[in-house]
Structure 1
Amino acid sequence: MQILLGTVTENDYAIIAHLKDKKDSEGLFEGEYYEDSLRRLRRIPTYNPDFEMIARTDEDEIVGHILLMEEMIVNGEDLQHPLMIKSLSVKEDFREYGIGKALVEAAESRAKEAGYNEIIVEGEPEYFQSLGFNPLSECAVEVPDNEDINQFSIILLWESLDTCPQGKLILENI
């Protein structure tokens, strides 16, 4: 089986939303919430389709998805615009094949090509640290009051960057 990475088309939207088809504790499907969240993110003016990718098998089955959005770190008058992984999902039967890692690496490559310096992610810190991310708590970055800094990770995209961003992370694209 070969896995191919590519850009998302509108025809892929419904399939992507159901990569997370599980019932939650209230008996509702995650896919429904996931689809609404993705639809909302795609309507934001700063949405860039270059930062939404899928993984598909050679039989054309979509088995993975990643979406990044630009966020903001404010430090006085200095503004930085890191990318943030808003969604990373791999179909349950295809986990443990490195698909998530391949999607993250492809996103890193596209981010570098576009001139971004870092990518931030919230959640699954052990997983992302296994991919080269570091705890955001090692940087002088504050997260919003209702967030746990230990759930955030960051990767600096350029070897020449020897310092983390500093300031307050503003999560506009939720």
Structure 2
Amino acid sequence: MNHYMNIIIRQETRNDYKITETVVERAFKNEKHSDHSEQFLVAKLRKGDVFIPELSIVAEVDKKIVGHAMFTKLCIKNGDENYPTLALAPVSVLPGFQNQGIGSKMILYGLNRSKEMGFKSVIVLGHEKYYPRFGFKPASEWGIKAPYDVPDEAFMAVELEKDALDNAAGTVIYGKEFSE
């Protein structure tokens, strides 16, 4: 890793939108598990009511945006009960900047900011070797299920507040943006 690399993590602004979408598109270009529409998802999520501007995050190196991560509102449904939570998706880092800790910095920034804003938990569908370092565990440990068939170990949750998910067993309902 280049130790002189100065990484700035900050909230995305409107002026970043186009650049960010290009970064997202390029980040997933060679990803075999991707349908390569992540950049459209980001654009749709920004327009939806699940959008939290403070939790749309970019990473800059030398004033150039090289990464983006997004936390949006999400709901766990159990009968008539709805538990608010957050979805962490997508997380994007430009190919030339991957595996240098940029994704981690954005995620840690986002988890801290989420907690400061009073959010109590986050759900992620992602790599089971990557996310546990941030405290994520299989969501099934709390009886939380994905709305579609995914590997148990890839569907994870983290509590930002102790015991936040104790009574949150149920099924995660993703916004329509995710399925369109």
What corresponds to 1:44 in structure 2?
A: 48
Q: How many residues align?
A: 168
Residue 124 of structure 1, aligned match among 127, 132, 139: 127
How far is the alpha carbon of 1:92 from its aligned partner?
1.4
Q: Deviations over 1:66-115 (max 9, x none)?
A: 01111111123321111011210111111222111111111111111111
Q: Check 1:35–1:50 CA distance in 2 against 1; reply closer, same or farther (3 A cut).
A: same
With structure 2 as the length reference, what TM-score do the two structures score? 0.83
Unaligned segments of structure 1, at least 5 residues: none
**Equivalent residue number for residue 17 of structure 2:** 13
Residue matched to 1:169: 172
TM-score, reference length from structure 1: 0.86
Paired residue secondary structure (1:158): coil
What are the residue-to-residue correspondences of 1:12-161 with 2, within 5 Å? 12-19=16-23, 20-21=25-26, 22=29, 30=36, 33-57=37-61, 59-159=62-162, 161=164
CA-CA distance at 1:12 after TM superposition: 1.3
- Once residues 23 and 150 of structure 1 are traced to their aligned partners in structure 2, the CA distance between those partners, rounded to angstroms, is 23
Range with greater deviation from structure 2 (156-165 or 140-149): 156-165
> SS at 2:157's partner residue?
strand
User: Structure 1 residues 24, 85: closer, same or farther in 2, change over 3 A?
Assistant: closer
Contact 2:121 2:164 in 1 (8 A): no
User: Do 1:66 and 1:85's aligned partners in 2 also have CA atoms closer than 8 Å?
Assistant: yes
> Which residues of structure 2 form unaligned runs of 5+?
none
For the aligned residue pairs, the C-alpha RMSD in angstroms reads 2.2
Q: Is 2:21–2:43's contact at 8 Å kept on the other side of the alignment?
A: no
Higher mean alpha-carbon deviation, 157-166 vs 34-43, is at 157-166
Specify whether residues 43 and 96 from structure 1 end up closer, same or farther in structure 2 by C-alpha distance, changes over 3 A only.
same
Provide closer, same or farther for how the CA distance between residues 77 and 123 of structure 1 changes in structure 2, counting only shifts above 3 A.
Answer: same
Percent identical residues? 26
Q: 1:24 to 1:126 in 2, by over 3 A?
A: closer
